[in-house]
Structure 1
């Protein structure tokens, strides 16, 4: 692999315009194919295996008008006067005349008659092409405009407005790119060197975006999947390019010409980049085991982005480095003004300090991470709802009005579907009305074919209340056969339960396969198991911080949230799969250097210090860039994306500081030669993927020189 990567880097640096031209053609072809054959993203909310899905399918079969998406309209007189009946009737007629609207409920008046609530059902799901358009809420706005003209407050809520109004604005990408560029300039001291990793990542991301569009033509791709793919692709793309550029600059400083520097950077850092990307892709494959189609689309879309930025890093970095030549170095270095270093770098001094007191350092780090992880035991998850939106959003105002005028449960009513051949609808309605936790039911309405009866039940608590899951379970256990409890709240309860159970399947797969891959790479049992435990610690700590910030409300105002909220049900599995792969990136970068030194010197303790000294600066810079990229996405209004961005930024920060700078050197110093222990029988069984095929830089150069690749580095 080293020889192939060396040849690839040398060729790209020797012929940069050919490589750049090839990428121009790739970008044009990708966007051409995406424009001609690409699809559009849309959400598939069907969840096979969910109990609520049964009731939804029954409604679709027997009452198509109620089997699609839904919306609600809340009308309120800000002065507290009773609403005019004529205006309410006229509004109901305008709403009923809208395309795809199946039913419009009679306006439900509040006790003081100053508020009215309409429920609308559509005959198509929210994923229908007519519903996913940005202007699909405009007909609703037009229908209620006469009420606003009369001075009344009108707010929209429900599934359809929520899917359109909370669409992402793209501010996260822009904030992340600007912050990353600033950090790169500080890292390299050269605008050319700083702009190169960012340019490479953006080009790869552009091709990846086109790939996601093509993917959408073959399967359902969630509307949030491109954002998550961009978040991860931008972070790892900059990291991979940064590692390659850093090694290239090192070789330039050592006196090599630009072509040889590019080749040798690829033979060393490029090798780590390839296997780091492999660990990310393995983690993304684990998303398929979550059991929901939406997670498969997250995994596939993000994998496309990672592969695209990997390809751009391995080819465009050496090409652009070759084109830039000595301009990759800072002006001081080019002019020979860099003073000689009189003391070891900070990372070396830090590693030596940790090595002197490894037990104390390891205990302090573990106790700190466990303390941060403790709130995870109290985590409550729930998908996003109207209350999760900013206070100036119509969705939030609608939610608050309904809660204050009709009770908290009015925002999360249950839909009860009765099979008339198996149960009596009126008896079931009476039974539900008498259930603890239910404050009211509507009259049952039979479907046109008489097969089913449907009515709504309002719980006493809101949809995010801790008791809602137990209430759903209690209703299902008490009601007779032939009765299904469905609706958005019951559906979300089912999803939350399924994802909580599936999390451990995803964890087992990702950890198991990653440990196996690291064992093959580093020919060790101890190193991969230790790496997995440390990654789990940092991820658990990030979960604990998510609970403290969002669920307990510690500092939510800093993130633009004015109240505490449960952790989004979508976040734990997504965060784990993505973070485990990203954390392994840094593990591969660091361990590759440590193992190279260990194989060359046999000095277990010294190899840890020298490996950390060699990689500390670049890993810290890469982690800082990834943190600011993820924090950029935390500025989005969408709560799920905000949590993902904040949670991943927190985990990467902990991983690059507490884990890489304290736990890794402390534990590897304590274990010494046992770090690289591998039983002989397992060594024979494990395939070798040659991550360390040429274990040391010296051996790499010997082989490359024997193949006629150029002079040996003298440093």
Structure 2
């Protein structure tokens, strides 16, 4: 069998291969060989999959997680009680009427209140209108009401009511009159997010394409990675629509899928294309260059994708709807991009051959970098490996130090930079009525919550709670039709998600409820609300984090051990990646918790990190860090397997991958950094964390720490105990083994 029987000759007029016949020695190469021999089937199959998946997504839609599915502990049980109690599915809204000079008894103030009630009632879209709450300084009041119809689509129907309130504001310019609530805020945030995603899509594609043009110096070679990334994203959306029937999705999932689809899709193509170009520059025929790229870079893609999938699957152990949704979405887009890179990409390249370099850009095009800059830099690092390693570790530990003070909480919309009136009104309601905008909700369940004993207990709850100074008016009580559940809403001190609000929840749970309603008439009493959910989420997260970390680190260790047959390489990979992630955590705390650079990134620090971000960052950064680690180690192992001296294998391996790592890192950093321009603080945190982690990983870790540590370890890098000799021997490349060329430089 000749090599051409494995991969057909590209249509470039290249001479037939005269090199020794050799069947690819690993799974990635065999998949690429099949795709190249059946390239029409591979390409058409991929396009049909993307079209069918996109249509499926449009037809099925995505099932979203409910509050009761997303919660934990006490607050989740409260949400379940409320959901089963048969309360009307209503969307509550409030109108804040406020004056710096007038009090609520002033005729002009009362006229504005009356006009507001008449305006909202006149829309025919509201019910249960009430005007009760008055601020402590008597300069503000609230008109409360419920929107008619189901709460789930209230944001689509709130417009006419909002417009009516705006009309009252125009008629009473001396007062502040504005509407807020879940529906109006949802409408405002929805519009903001839509605008953000449209802008990010419009920016990320040309930015990524521009970087790829610089990296390849050819238009067609730059377009291919973008094509794979975007089609992988579209295809994975259809799979998400199906998966959401079993694991309901959260709003953030699709945004993260776009981010990850662009990042890994482009990376996988870069690995393939740059290796194929490198082999062509060395004189290999087109089919031989593609065969080597498939067996080496293709194998790296396969291991990298498996590592990311393994890391993301660790989030299933949290049993949290948000993490499960993020895990499912990311796994789907990474798996789809990996499959595309292993199948359709070699099929396309086998057809294009050297024509992949069509549209060469003068001054940018080159098949292979000379690596002179990396030669000099690595020379400095490897001449003083101990000093280089010490400096790198010191820098990483210094960056990581702030993570010791990390605090997490629910995302706070007060940190959202948005000029929408509903959000401005929300902040003013919080200031005038502490906790009124994000109250604690006490669910009291009994055979009859209207008995004299329970009614008196609920009154005592109200009195004692307000007396603490941590809970405030307005306090409302609502009973369901069956009189089996009473909901007591109490205002909380703080923003609703900060430490003050969380302490108020603990006071309510641990002191007030046990002294008042707990157990009266056999009552079950639970607390929910934004602050309570944050407390319960953090408690559940604290229990699940060790499981997730252990799962991810353990499986990643086993994957590296099997892939490289080295105990030391596997341990080193884990330690280096942990240092990289820890450094990113430290910078995240400094910027988003302590507020350094908050004005530059367009947010207001609330003294915490969004509670789901750190764990998600860990699993995704661990996977992405392994992406580079596997690619570099594969090249180093190739040299080692040929019998090269350790320092030469390390130097050539890192110099040989430097261009790819640099290009891939620049793409990732650029794409992730774009998300810091969004409106949601959680998206800013995620984009910033990913961007700085990739930057740290591609510079301090891969360019300094990895080579210096490997040089210090020398042949010990490849240590494998005898009792592990049964591990399979996996091929790391196609080239025959051999000694380095005479006079080859160590650096």
TM-score interval, smaller chain: 0.7 to 0.9
Q: How many residues end up aligned between the 2 structures?
A: 688
Does structure 1 residue 668 correspond to structure 2 residue 713? no
Aligned to 1:528: 570
Task: Please tell me whether the aligned partners of residues 416 and 454 of structure 1 are also in contact (alpha carbons under 8 angstroms).
Answer: yes
Of 73, 76, 86, the match for 2:95: 73
Does structure 1 residue 206 correspond to structure 2 residue 265? no
> How much has 1:250 moved relative to structure 2?
1.4
Does structure 1 residue 502 correspond to structure 2 residue 566? no
Task: Please tell me whether the aligned partners of residues 432 and 441 of structure 1 are also in contact (alpha carbons under 8 angstroms).
Answer: no
Of 305, 314, 323, the match for 1:277: 305
Aligned to 1:698: 736
> How much has 1:649 moved relative to structure 2?
0.7
Any unmatched runs of 5+ in structure 1? 701-715
Task: Please tell me whether the aligned partners of residues 8 and 263 of structure 1 are also in contact (alpha carbons under 8 angstroms).
Answer: no
Aligned to 2:330: 302
Are the structure 2 counterparts of residues 150 and 365 from structure 1 closer, same or farther at C-alpha, using a change threshold of 3 Å? same
Are the structure 2 counterparts of residues 549 and 335 from structure 1 closer, same or farther at C-alpha, using a change threshold of 3 Å? closer
Are the structure 2 counterparts of residues 650 and 68 from structure 1 closer, same or farther at C-alpha, using a change threshold of 3 Å? farther
After the TM superposition, which residues 109-258 of structure 1 pair with which residues of structure 2 at under 5 Å, given as runs?
109-111=134-136, 114-120=139-145, 128=152, 130-131=153-154, 135-151=156-172, 153-167=176-190, 168-169=193-194, 170=197, 171-258=199-286
In 2, Cα distance between equivalents of 1:511 and 1:124: 49
Any unmatched runs of 5+ in structure 2? 1-23, 519-523, 739-747
> How much has 1:185 moved relative to structure 2?
1.1
Are the structure 2 counterparts of residues 261 and 96 from structure 1 closer, same or farther at C-alpha, using a change threshold of 3 Å? farther
After the TM superposition, which residues 262-273 of structure 1 pair with which residues of structure 2 at under 5 Å, given as runs?
262-273=290-301
Tell me the alpha carbon deviations over residues 256-294 of structure 1, each in whole angstroms, 9 at most, x when there is no partner.
Answer: 343332222111110110111000000110111122112
Of 490, 511, 524, the match for 1:457: 490
In structure 2, the residue corresponding to 1:698 is in which secondary structure? Answer: coil
> How much has 1:229 moved relative to structure 2?
1.2
> How much has 1:379 moved relative to structure 2?
1.4
Higher mean C-alpha displacement, 247-256 vs 412-421 = 412-421
In structure 1, the residue corresponding to 2:256 is in which secondary structure? Answer: helix
In 2, Cα distance between equivalents of 1:534 and 1:336: 33
Of 561, 566, 582, the match for 2:624: 582
Does structure 1 residue 431 correspond to structure 2 residue 464? yes
Task: Please tell me whether the aligned partners of residues 388 and 565 of structure 1 are also in contact (alpha carbons under 8 angstroms).
Answer: no
Task: Please tell me whether the aligned partners of residues 237 and 310 of structure 1 are also in contact (alpha carbons under 8 angstroms).
Answer: yes
Aligned to 2:387: 360
> How much has 1:205 moved relative to structure 2?
1.8
Aligned to 1:474: 507
In 2, Cα distance between equivalents of 1:447 and 1:557: 46
In 2, Cα distance between equivalents of 1:42 and 1:196: 33
Aligned to 2:345: 317
Q: CA RMSD in A?
A: 3.2
Of 554, 572, 577, the match for 1:512: 554
Tell me the alpha carbon deviations over residues 295-354 of structure 1, each in whole angstroms, 9 at most, x when there is no partner.
Answer: 11111111111111112222332233334432434888999997999x753223322321
Higher mean C-alpha displacement, 584-593 vs 330-339 = 330-339
Aligned to 1:658: 700
In 1, Cα distance between equivalents of 2:360 and 2:50: 36
In structure 2, the residue corresponding to 1:106 is in which secondary structure? Answer: strand
Does structure 1 residue 640 correspond to structure 2 residue 682? yes
Tell me the alpha carbon deviations over residues 556-592 of structure 1, each in whole angstroms, 9 at most, x when there is no partner.
Answer: 1121224555211121111111111111111110111
Are the structure 2 counterparts of residues 453 and 22 from structure 1 closer, same or farther at C-alpha, using a change threshold of 3 Å? closer
In 2, Cα distance between equivalents of 1:585 and 1:181: 21
Tell me the alpha carbon deviations over residues 635-684 of structure 1, each in whole angstroms, 9 at most, x when there is no partner.
Answer: 21122112111111111111111111111111111111111112111333
In 1, Cα distance between equivalents of 2:698 and 2:265: 17
Are the structure 2 counterparts of residues 80 and 589 from structure 1 closer, same or farther at C-alpha, using a change threshold of 3 Å? farther
Task: Please tell me whether the aligned partners of residues 347 and 617 of structure 1 are also in contact (alpha carbons under 8 angstroms).
Answer: no
Task: Please tell me whether the aligned partners of residues 54 and 235 of structure 2 are also in contact (alpha carbons under 8 angstroms).
Answer: yes
Are the structure 2 counterparts of residues 374 and 338 from structure 1 closer, same or farther at C-alpha, using a change threshold of 3 Å? closer
In 2, Cα distance between equivalents of 1:123 and 1:375: 48
Aligned to 2:656: 614
Aligned to 1:410: 436
In structure 2, the residue corresponding to 1:496 is in which secondary structure? Answer: helix
Task: Please tell me whether the aligned partners of residues 232 and 302 of structure 1 are also in contact (alpha carbons under 8 angstroms).
Answer: yes
> How much has 1:236 moved relative to structure 2?
0.3
TM-score by length of 2: 0.84
Tell me the alpha carbon deviations over residues 11-60 of structure 1, each in whole angstroms, 9 at most, x when there is no partner.
Answer: 64566555433333222222333334x22342322245421223333333
In 2, Cα distance between equivalents of 1:334 and 1:450: 79
> How much has 1:208 moved relative to structure 2?
1.5
After the TM superposition, which residues 31-46 of structure 1 pair with which residues of structure 2 at under 5 Å, given as runs?
31-36=54-59, 38-46=60-68
Tell me the alpha carbon deviations over residues 419-472 of structure 1, each in whole angstroms, 9 at most, x when there is no partner.
Answer: 547752112222222225234463645544444444333333332332332332
In 1, Cα distance between equivalents of 2:633 and 2:364: 33
Aligned to 2:80: 57
Are the structure 2 counterparts of residues 284 and 607 from structure 1 closer, same or farther at C-alpha, using a change threshold of 3 Å? same
In 2, Cα distance between equivalents of 1:219 and 1:532: 30
Aligned to 1:26: 49
In 2, Cα distance between equivalents of 1:539 and 1:575: 8
In 1, Cα distance between equivalents of 2:360 and 2:110: 79
